[in-house]
Structure 1
Amino acid sequence: MEITKISRVFLHKQNGQEVRLADPGEQLTKEDVRNFYANIYPILTTAKIRGPEFRDDEMQYHFETSMGTKG
């Protein structure tokens, strides 16, 4: 039996491109990670967090923002 550690990855879109953000610490909650990256990407301060989705041995969380969209 082989045990594979699943890593967390955080994704958000910037200018139409998906940006992969590494997990700054597995002890942090997903909200803590959002706050950590909000210092670099201020738009994340109001982002909703969707996930996790399990893909390719990763646990993916998506930061979704509504700023800049119409409707």
Structure 2
Amino acid sequence: MLLLTLTQGVREMGGQELPIPEDGVLPAGTFRTFAPCKPGVYQWTAQVKSAAGEVLSEAHKARFYPTDELAQDRP
């Protein structure tokens, strides 16, 4: 299972838990978030979970909106 979440600071902008496709690629439009509306740093968090719900791996990627420039990763 894959859990994707978009946040700005402590504010969660949306995300959801999805099964991982066999090819490992999520098609466009697979998940929904609330659109960012004000400039700032937004962070994606991805967690891969086992069938029992145990977190196996976690990754973060932060970007400045609206420029889409990479921001320093945040824990």
User: RCO (CA 8 Å, sep 6+): is it higher in 1 or 2?
Assistant: 1
More strand by proportion, 1 or 2? 2
TM-score (norm. length: structure 1) = 0.36
TM-score (norm. length: structure 2) = 0.35
More helix by proportion, 1 or 2? 1
